[in-house]
A and B are shown apart, each in its own frame.
Chain A
């Protein structure tokens, strides 16, 4: 009696172990970290991933989403988890220097063929390349554009979208004077990276750079013009003062609600602001490249992001298959209404361009001039100090000159 029970038990156990063993051999699980955002929403990324899993039944992808503001710290903190951490991570264009210093991502240079590279926008590729190493594949190609409300401009008797920042201010003044909207301009100037992106767009439009003779320099004329413009627009009541606590989503909501004539925002706002379900101004949304200080000049910030493989990942091969799929041209084309493809030839595809011709026309000009934010391993600290100084200026606690001098000083102190 007893022996029969033991026998049955051991047979059962062996079967169980065998089943577990074969299951784990058949399926590799990789962990991927993304952000909750509007461009590719959580649902879109889940849809892409489940398509990938259907094509690769041997790989299952475990997705995690955090807000952009937590993404950096999450990637860094996961390093402590070793091989139990993430395999695939989404990273911003500003982090490669720091991630290289701390060796957080695998160099995938050898995985991308030369011909492949040539098909990608150079600006997008720059996002993932640092000091000759390629840390992943660019996935979100993005910059900020100037959005305008066609109906409001028309009402104010303005027939053409503005070509320079001075014109933006003049038009805004006119719109305000005619009482069409209380604050014609809206930006994302909260103490966050969004503020640096708006500022960089303005610096770029003024023909500026962050480095002079290899040193960080924020007191150059372009930078000073950029900040002065920001402050002036607030002082004149042209910029919504709540911009100083806005993130990009607040800007989108204000613009979509018809509370602004002009807004600076990423690509994703174009189709959302034109969607009658979530926007009161659908059909009236115009888009142009962020202007510069002279007609014909354009400003843009490199706001692209890439997908990389964590250094500690044990499943580099599967991770790369996943990244390749997510960044592949068919997938990017399919979701082009949410985020522009990194592939040059995508733009010849009518399925990609249909319905967003004016976005693509703006993108053609902007993507060529995208200014990168300073590439330094100490970027987080630099950005935080700069955010604080810029806000001090915007709150009227400091003059633009004094604020930028202070920013220069703290940049020089970075170790």
Chain B
């Protein structure tokens, strides 16, 4: 005779089983297959025979491939800089939108628009903005007297990656704003009132009241953005296709090219696994940071 607890356990498993099967089919199986592929010389489309096992060859090749190393650094630069800027702008805009002023609601809607735009549309729009002949960026900077002639922003390896980053930042800072603004609105006004009566400066009020309230949603926003930015692909595909001189070839684009343009499913899978591992490291670091923060804030409360 099973105890009540045992029966409940069993029932739980029965109820979970269908979902576990679906999850296995959708996640574990493709992942397992990708890992297996990464140890073979499989082509994306078979020429008949079964792919051969090559052991760690793909990984060794990948790790010594200077192009791959360069694209890791490029991707990290892209991720760190754009996410940092998105964080700062996001918080500043959220603080601004939390103030009471005329037309605030309209502005709130406008700020969210870029984020609601499909990435492809955003990328096309920025490609036009950066157009060397009639782009608005050139027109604006020339009229302001910042540059003396039209430049080819996406055609120069010095500026192409930054131009793509600008497009990414413009599209994604509203997510940070959105989450931070929601947190800001949950702070009761009395807290600020009391602090003001106690003579706390604006900076002190921000540090003691505002920041602790927004730190959790901000971290979540930044984690989400980091993972997204690390995988950046669509904006690059539309704006530069990895050029010029590979200056915008990020990891995702690298994996795409290896697998779909060169048809090397095996080494493409190896690159993809390495990329997933790097993404895993990033996420772990963030999780540790988040947990520490939570521990610190609960310690403060008690």
Summarize A's interface: helix, strand, loop or mixed. Answer: helix
Tell me whether B261 and A384 are in contact (CB under 8 A): yes
Is the C-beta of B51 less than 8 angstroms from some C-beta in chain A? Answer: no
Give min CB distance, A339 to chain B, whole Å. 25
CB neighbours (8 Å) of B262 from chain A are 378, 380-381
Is the C-beta of A57 less than 8 angstroms from some C-beta in chain B? Answer: no
Which interface residue of B44, B46, B152, B245 has the most chain A CB atoms within 10 A?
A: B245
Contact A244 to B261, CB < 8 A, known contacts A76-B44, A388-B246:
no
Tell me whether B157 and A76 are in contact (CB under 8 A): no
- What is the CA–CA distance of A10 and B261 in the complex, to the nearest angstrom? 53
B44, B133, B241, B244: the one contacting A244 at CB < 8 Å is B244
Is the C-beta of A7 less than 8 angstroms from some C-beta in chain B? Answer: no
- What is the CA–CA distance of A378 and B43 in the complex, to the nearest angstrom? 12
Tell me whether B45 and A245 are in contact (CB under 8 A): no
Contact A391 to B245, CB < 8 A, known contacts A72-B261, A77-B260, A102-B45:
yes
Tell me whether B241 and A388 are in contact (CB under 8 A): no
Is the C-beta of B156 less than 8 angstroms from some C-beta in chain A? Answer: yes
Tell me whether A191 and B242 are in contact (CB under 8 A): yes
Give min CB distance, A254 to chain B, whole Å. 7
Is the C-beta of B154 less than 8 angstroms from some C-beta in chain A? Answer: yes
Task: Digitize B90-131: 1 where CB-to-A-CB distance is under 8 Å, 0 elsewhere.
Answer: 000000000000000000000000000000000000000000
Tell me whether A191 and B47 are in contact (CB under 8 A): no
- B226-269 contacts to A, CB under 8 A, are 240-246, 257, 260-263
Tell me whether B132 and A242 are in contact (CB under 8 A): yes
Tell me whether A79 and B155 are in contact (CB under 8 A): no
CB neighbours (8 Å) of A246 from chain B are 155
- What is the CA–CA distance of A245 and B151 in the complex, to the nearest angstrom? 11
Tell me whether A241 and B152 are in contact (CB under 8 A): yes
Is the C-beta of A318 less than 8 angstroms from some C-beta in chain B? Answer: no
Summarize B's interface: helix, strand, loop or mixed. Answer: loop
Is the C-beta of A190 less than 8 angstroms from some C-beta in chain B? Answer: yes
Tell me whether B45 and A190 are in contact (CB under 8 A): no
Tell me whether B157 and A73 are in contact (CB under 8 A): no
Give B132's nearest chain A residue, CB to CB.
A242
- What is the CA–CA distance of A190 and B242 in the complex, to the nearest angstrom? 10
Is the C-beta of B48 less than 8 angstroms from some C-beta in chain A? Answer: yes
- What is the CA–CA distance of A98 and B133 in the complex, to the nearest angstrom? 37
Give B243's nearest chain A residue, CB to CB.
A191
Tell me whether B152 and A80 are in contact (CB under 8 A): no
A73, A101, A245, A254: the one contacting B155 at CB < 8 Å is A245
Tell me whether B244 and A80 are in contact (CB under 8 A): no
CB neighbours (8 Å) of A378 from chain B are 262
CB neighbours (8 Å) of B132 from chain A are 242, 245
CB neighbours (8 Å) of A319 from chain B are none
B43, B244, B260, B263: the one contacting A245 at CB < 8 Å is B244
Contact A392 to B257, CB < 8 A, known contacts A76-B45, A79-B45:
no
Tell me whether A392 and B245 are in contact (CB under 8 A): yes
Is the C-beta of A104 less than 8 angstroms from some C-beta in chain B? Answer: yes
- What is the CA–CA distance of A246 and B152 in the complex, to the nearest angstrom? 10
CB neighbours (8 Å) of B45 from chain A are 76, 79-80, 102, 104
Task: Digitize A71-108: 1 where CB-to-B-CB distance is under 8 Å, 0 elsewhere.
Answer: 01100110110000000000000000010011110000
List 7 contacting pairs A-B, 8 Å CB cutoff, sorted by A: A77-B44, A192-B243, A242-B132, A244-B156, A245-B132, A245-B152, A395-B245
Starting from the known contacts A73-B260, A257-B133, 17 additional A-B residue pairs (CB-CB under 8 Å) come to: A101-B47, A104-B45, A190-B244, A191-B242, A191-B246, A242-B132, A242-B150, A242-B152, A244-B152, A245-B152, A245-B243, A253-B133, A254-B133, A378-B262, A391-B243, A395-B245, A397-B157
3 nearest CB pairs, A to B: A191-B243, A245-B155, A242-B132
